[in-house]
Structure 1
């Protein structure tokens, strides 16, 4: 068989494996974490992280299948890391929001479904936490509006938890 046909077959095998792994990890992680009584938002974040890890693994495997040399991969990775460094330096608040999301995930008492009020003198925010992402927290107001607030704001302002969501299981 010709080399490119073998590479195509290997690529298909890697992609089919990735798709199967994608769905299996989601099911296995969710079922495992439900037994530990972690909240849905935390399970969702762990699944996203595992999917990112598996995507990076597939990218590395595909680059090996198609014959990229280690030096070429190193140059590519170096270029990407340099660009990301410049972006984060230019917009350092993005990096602080990602760091804040990790702190919120592991240490903050605010969970999805809680009703909170961010105490700001000029413009206080109040609503139900509908989602916690890597960069933002989403609050749903009484008027069904969605307010998007950067995660770092929660560490700069005082937050009042008006009502804890009792429907979601907690690991606390």
Structure 2
């Protein structure tokens, strides 16, 4: 065991440093997302969704840096990542709307002016909708009409259409109305 520690001392120290630095960056990013969520009165479930995106980003960066530390060459890493991204790119091109909705969900987390409980009107010439926002998910909004109909509306479309605020009903995470 001691021989292994001596032989791979540099790689182990580099790996430890990378993990500590990435944990600090992850903590800072989650803290910032949490602060934005609280300041903008964003539902905690949407903030947790951002935490998942942060975890995935940190995991990808860690995999790249640790592979580099343990002797995988830059050309090998570039070949692996380009192959993986080529496959992912083809898959995402085939289902581009999913990527578009996820990206829209991230944008909506930081700059969407409407909250859960607000009644909005979507100005669409083909299908105008007036409904209350029940939930904001990664891919779509859950809207409830006055007739009780549940509508799932894609995030990418909500950013492309004109939307009016009809009524505001601010709620906390426990569902109780705030004054």
TM-score (norm 1): 0.62
Q: CA 1:65–1:142 in structure 2 vs 1: closer, same or farther (change >3 Å)?
A: farther
Distance in 2 between the 1:31 and 1:93 partners? 27
Partner of 2:157: 153
Q: CA 1:57–1:4 in structure 2 vs 1: closer, same or farther (change >3 Å)?
A: farther
What secondary structure, in the 3-state scheme, does the structure 2 residue paired with 1:116 have?
strand
Distance in 1 between the 2:106 and 2:30 partners? 23
Q: Which has the larger radius of gyration?
A: 2
1:82 to 62, 79, 86: 86
Q: What is the CA-CA distance between 1:26 and the residue it aligns to?
A: 6.5
**Gap regions ≥5 residues in structure 2:** 173-179
Indicate whether 1:28 and 2:31 are aligned: yes
Q: CA 1:34–1:88 in structure 2 vs 1: closer, same or farther (change >3 Å)?
A: closer
Does structure 2 retain, via aligned residues, the 8 Å contact 1:18–1:54?
no
Partner of 1:67: 71
Q: What is the CA-CA distance between 1:80 and the residue it aligns to?
A: 1.8
2:61 to 38, 41, 57: 57
Does structure 2 retain, via aligned residues, the 8 Å contact 1:128–1:141?
no
Aligned positions, number: 166
Indicate whether 1:131 and 2:133 are aligned: no
RMSD: 4.5
- Which structure's relative contact order is higher, taking Cα pairs within 8 Å and 6+ residues apart? 1
1:96 to 73, 96, 100: 100
Distance in 2 between the 1:23 and 1:86 partners? 29
**Gap regions ≥5 residues in structure 1:** none
